[in-house]
Amino acid sequence: MIDMIEKEDPIISEEEAAQYDRQIRLWGLDAQKRLRGSRVLLVGLGGLGAEVAKNLILAGVKGLTLLDHEEVTEESCRAQFLVPVTAQGQNRAQASLERAQLLNPMVEVCADTEQAEEKPDDFFLQFDAVCLTGGSRDLMVRVDQLCSQNNIKVFCGDVSGYYGYMFINLGQEHNYVEEKPKLVKPTGDSNDGPRAKKAKVDPNETVVVKKVARFCSLKDALEVDWTSDKAKAGLKRTPMDYFLLQVLLKFRTDKGRDPDPQSFAEDCRLLRQIRTDVLEKLAVNTNVLADDFISYCFSEMSPVCAVVGGVLGQEVVKALSQRDAPHRNFFFFDGRKGNGMVDYFGPN
């Protein structure tokens, strides 16, 4: 039996109360205490990882471990603001550490330069939440299954050109609270007639409502049976981003890398072929993913990283603080259109 991380009752010091004053006013002291007692693992320090790291550190988690075995390249310097331009050739996690720590000295930030795939299972069980960015399908499915069995919250995300996504698995029973406007019951002595019998919303008062959300595994979310009548009926409402994600994950599995602008022609051909293979295997018409997607999924774009990293960071904070309704279970962002959408995939 692997021992889970010991939970301590976090205490907010006067200095922390001053630092997090705005947040405490926004979501309450109890929520901030839960954040203050949480340790998070962030895998992947590309452009998206840097945005997530910034948001979690500023929010005030107890500790953040940056795990990345990759080296800083010229391209990663463009999308990743935590690494100095002089850090090319250095490990990305290590190169990000100094600027990350300066964002909030109250958070324990550390760097791990090993490869996530080589980490044993018990490594991941040290944390309250694990956030995987830029991960392979096999790694994400493995970590998701492991963590969900041990009540650890799992988040996955990635950015490919103009496109970005986020996936959440908070387990079979995630408890949270939501603040709702208070309904005032009629007094009964009003002369307003039938309208007086209806409850009215009091804009000056709110009530806290306890709620539960249930999630499925990443494996189940990616393996929807599109031959079922229910899936076929919903196909027209399904965002093409879901199928694009499947194509990009298959590309990464097959090639061990992402589409590269330096091999644009070859990778465009590969993306078309993988699109056909993936959609045929899913029993979905290849027309759901038009050819024009190919030109827009190369490299990490900083504005897309900022949007997806903002949403992903916010969802980690919401989950750890148990405050407000979580996104269930995918968020997709299309930078060409400038819009995002939340959609659920998997068994209900």
Same domain, 286 and 321: no
pLDDT tens, 29-55? 777 888 899 999 999 999 999 999 999
Question: Per-residue pLDDT for 141 more than 50?
Answer: yes
Same domain, 328 and 279: no
Same domain, 96 and 196: no
Same domain, 188 and 288: no
pLDDT of 30 reads 79
End-to-end CA distance of the chain: 31
Same domain, 135 and 190: no
In a domain, 49, yes or no: yes
* Nearby residues of 334 by Cβ (< 8 Å), 6 or more positions away: 162, 163, 241, 340
Same domain, 266 and 306: no
pLDDT of 182 reads 77
By percentage, how much of the chain surpasses pLDDT 90?
72
pLDDT of 5 reads 43
pLDDT tens, 185-241? 766 555 555 555 666 776 677 788 999 999 999 999 999 999 998 888 889 899 999
Same domain, 125 and 268: no
Same domain, 128 and 225: no
Lowest mean pLDDT among 76-80, 111-115, 199-203, 279-283: 199-203
* Confidence tier at 175 by pLDDT (50, 70, 90): very high
pLDDT of 196 reads 56
pLDDT tens, 67-90? 999 999 888 778 899 999 899 999
Last residue of a domain, one of 212, 239, 269: 212
**Tokens 């996690």 found at:** 93
In a domain, 255, yes or no: yes
pLDDT of 2 reads 38
Cα 28 to Cα 9: distance, rounded to the nearest angstrom: 16
Look at residues 139, 207, 133, 216 and name the one whose alpha carbon lies nearest to residue 174: 216
In a domain, 343, yes or no: no
pLDDT of 318 reads 94
In a domain, 7, yes or no: no
In a domain, 242, yes or no: yes
**Rounded to 5 degrees, what angle do the CA atoms 220, 330, 171 make?**
55
**In the predicted model, what is the mean pLDDT of residues 284-296?**
91
Range of the structural domain that residue 205 is part of: 174-212
pLDDT of 93 reads 97
Look at residues 112, 12, 106 and name the one whose alpha carbon lies nearest to residue 321: 12
In a domain, 167, yes or no: yes
pLDDT of 242 reads 96
Question: Per-residue pLDDT for 17 more than 80?
Answer: no
pLDDT of 23 reads 75
In a domain, 341, yes or no: no
**In the predicted model, what is the mean pLDDT of residues 117-129?**
97
**Mean pLDDT, the chain, integer:** 90
Find the CATH number of the domain harbouring 38: 3.40.50.720
**In the predicted model, what is the mean pLDDT of residues 236-247?**
94
Same domain, 37 and 122: yes
Same domain, 91 and 128: yes
pLDDT of 334 reads 96
* Confidence tier at 1 by pLDDT (50, 70, 90): very low
In a domain, 5, yes or no: no
Same domain, 57 and 178: no
Question: Per-residue pLDDT for 6 more than 70?
Answer: no
pLDDT of 3 reads 40
**In the predicted model, what is the mean pLDDT of residues 238-256?**
96
Same domain, 20 and 137: yes
Structurally, the chain folds into a number of domains equal to: 3
* Nearby residues of 55 by Cβ (< 8 Å), 6 or more positions away: 309, 310, 312, 313, 314, 316, 317
Q: In one letter, which amino acid is 294?
A: I
C-alpha dist (Å) from residue 344 to 238, 263, 265: 10, 34, 34
Decide if 131 contacts 316 (C-beta within 8 A). Answer: yes
Question: Per-residue pLDDT for 117 more than 80?
Answer: yes
